[in-house]
Structure 1
């Protein structure tokens, strides 16, 4: 007697069942990475910078850039995503709706408080969300675009986006002679790769 063959529908249901069981783990990992990335910025403010003026010093290599602007811009992406997902559906996200010239760009105290507030919100909101929660993203590329995405994808992007800006912060810090923690500005995947090579 031949064994029954699973139908495509039952296979899809089985896949969704596995995905739903894995979702808390996947969200937990995204939360862990996002938190670690933002804590790098808190550590920078607390242990590397020595004056508020260092937040506002313009880079000679990246025109218009300051450490404060990069910290604010990267934090904004997390904050905007958390604002959107905390509201009832439909969830509409636009990263271009962000604030400028905020206190965290010019004050280490304000930067620390704002970054820590963002970390606290991540800890509160992410566990209540779903990876696949639909979001409509409005973007300018420079042409207006509207596309579908998910909460999980955008949380991953917010972390990757922050790492990109941390690498520019590292350049400006180098110009100012600021000593930084070695891992600042490296993506988590790069750190894992570097660690694995060091063990060989």
Structure 2
């Protein structure tokens, strides 16, 4: 049994419906990125600095890539049936990749869309996911499963942001880029590490 402590607003997250718990994780992960661009990064150059260790990677590209997964999923679910989507239809080289102000607005928009759509969605809403692997594959999935994936996928990209930030001598919060299960295992007091297993 996993027990989750109270949300800062006083609600007991563990007692909330699973979809709202996933919304909490999603918005918390997106908020980490928003905090990064609002409070830690100080110049557009930090978004576009090329990593020496992750060729072709920049902080801006990782933020955009992960945010796009949330937006593609939310747009699919908020549209009419049949709910068919692909994570491979992302836009690249967008303004949020190289401009802090644009990144801030894009991340705020993603958080707003998650908060707007998730509470009225169905956890088990059937979705069809088309993926290039490089061979075209089609998978039947659900909204809940994909919202879970989007959150953990973002954490994976935040870990790469952590590597690039380290190259730039930028200090990040201790929980940035760590999966909730890792934070729980370490006994972290971070928001995503407050479950007791």
Say yes or no: TM over 0.5. Answer: yes
Give the drift of 1:182: 0.9
Pair 1:72 & 2:64 matched: yes
Query: 2: distance between equivalents of 1:124 and 1:161?
Result: 21
Question: What TM-score do the two structures reach when normalised by structure 1?
Answer: 0.85
Larger Rg: 1
Give the drift of 1:95: 0.5
- Select which of 151, 154, 166 maps to 1:159: 151
2:161 paired residue number: 169
Query: 1: distance between equivalents of 2:38 and 2:152?
Result: 22
- Select which of 88, 99, 102 maps to 1:96: 88
Unaligned runs of 5+ in 2: 1-13, 190-195
Query: 1: distance between equivalents of 2:16 and 2:164?
Result: 37
Aligned length: 177
Unaligned runs of 5+ in 1: 1-21
Question: Which of the pair is proportionally richer in helix?
Answer: 1
The root-mean-square deviation of aligned C-alpha atoms, in Å, is 1.8
2:134 paired residue number: 142
- Select which of 174, 191, 194 maps to 1:182: 174
Provide, for residues 139-165 of structure 1, a one-character-per-residue CA deviation record: whole Å limited to 9, x for no partner: 011111011000000000001110110
Question: What TM-score do the two structures reach when normalised by structure 2?
Answer: 0.86
Q: Runs (4+) of structure 1 moved beyond 3 Å?
A: none
